[in-house]
Structure 1
């Protein structure tokens, strides 16, 4: 009997394409798609079908992947959650794992590798590719040594260089060749792990730590 999957992603075209790919896998079938965490919770209330696996995007409106996986851990701990995102930075991986994700993949993963990852998740209860495992083990070792695990990815460093300018977030997104939502995600992640609240705080941090552009 096929394992049931729900896809949570606010990009409908991506979600539907992913659904089509997975439905061709031997051991898995998608039973429905949700646009974000709140939409997933609403569907749980109205549907009698609770999936065995959830493929979860991180950057979503209303209720993002971090909040959603934590809610799932607290309310449906038997569901195996696989993060499937464009965000592969250290802080995103560590936060998703700490919040309850049992696997992590990037959206540019080949369909064959996705199927193998789902099989591993089904059989072993977890799946982390080698690059994600290195991030996790590095974090564990840092915590064992009493270090505060604050890691800033290259893209986050690039974002920090723009915080001291007068560019708007939309203009920063254009400079970084990404969406404004992605820039906002960099901002939120940095504020969270640096315990800051404003762009001014990020700019001061950038100046003090040599991240400002010369």
Structure 2
């Protein structure tokens, strides 16, 4: 049986193009498209309208992708959320992951990559961009990294909590009453301990291990 998908995007041409592309995939089918989160909420009142996967744009009027993902996570936790956006900044990725997105793909991706992403999402329960390291992804699946097995200082734990926010490193330094250089030290120590290379990786680890 094919996995069902709902597309939420205020650009109708893009939504229709996605529907056409996905119609050629062997394992997936599109139930319908919505222009924003409010419209999706109304559709979800009918049980048969609840899909396996929601492809979710971020920048939308009325109810954006961040708000929509948070609502789906709270009310329909079994629905897989995949962000599909032009926004590739760390803050957007971190916020979407925190709000429940299990996958993130850019709109300029090739259709083959879209199909691969969907298959990986269904199989593994997640898909993140290449710059979220393969080490992190492996650990998300195998649960090899556990907070009980790694010694963190209280200040490193405090810094971890801030990685999931939209604060810059300088703003985090202000919050923690220390210098940006000290913050860089905490970041680099955590990179080494967790074998990560990006703030997104730290944020996903913090969310997964409930440091938020």
| TM-score grouping bracket, smaller chain normalisation | 0.5 to 0.7
Number of the residue aligned with 2:195:
none
TM-score (normalizing by structure 1): 0.64
Q: Give the structure 2 partner of residue 97 of structure 1.
A: 97
The aligned counterpart of 2:158 is 146
Correspondences of 1:1-214 after superposition (within 5 Å) = 1-46=1-46, 48-133=48-133, 144=156, 146-147=158-159, 148-149=162-163, 150-151=167-168
For 1:123 and 1:117, the matched residues in 2 are separated by: 10
Unpaired segments of 5 or more residues in structure 2? 138-151, 170-212
Give the whole-Å Cα distance in 2 for the aligned partners of 1:151 and 1:81. 26
Q: CA RMSD in A?
A: 2.3
Deviation at 1:144, TM superposition (A): 4.2
Contact 1:82-1:103 within 8 A present in 2 as well: yes
For 1:42, what is the secondary structure of its paired residue? Answer: helix
Contact 1:82 1:101 in 2 (8 A): yes
Measure, in 1, the Cα distance between the counterparts of 2:157 and 2:8.
Answer: 36
CA contact (8 A) 1:91 1:151 kept: no
SS of the residue aligned with 1:61?
Answer: coil
Give the CA deviation at 1:43.
1.1
**Secondary structure at the residue paired with 2:48?**
coil
Equivalent residues of 1:105, 1:128 under 8 A apart: yes
Aligned partners of 2:46 and 2:77: how far apart in 1? 19
Q: How many residues align?
A: 148
Q: Which runs of 5+ in 1 are unaligned?
A: 153-214
SS at match of 1:83: strand
CA deviation map 1:144-199 (0-9, x unaligned) = 453233348xxxxxxxxxxxxxxxxxxxxxxxxxxxxxxxxxxxxxxxxxxxxxxx
Q: CA deviation at 1:69?
A: 0.4
Quote the offset at 1:91 in angstroms. 0.5
Partner of 2:198: none
* CA shift in 2, pair 1:35/1:100, >3 Å: same
Question: In the aligned structure 2, how far is the partner of 1:119 from the partner of 1:61?
Answer: 29
- Aligned counterparts of 1:120 and 1:38: Cα–Cα separation in 2: 28
After the TM superposition, which segments of 4 or more aligned residues of structure 1 sit over 3 Å from their partners?
143-146
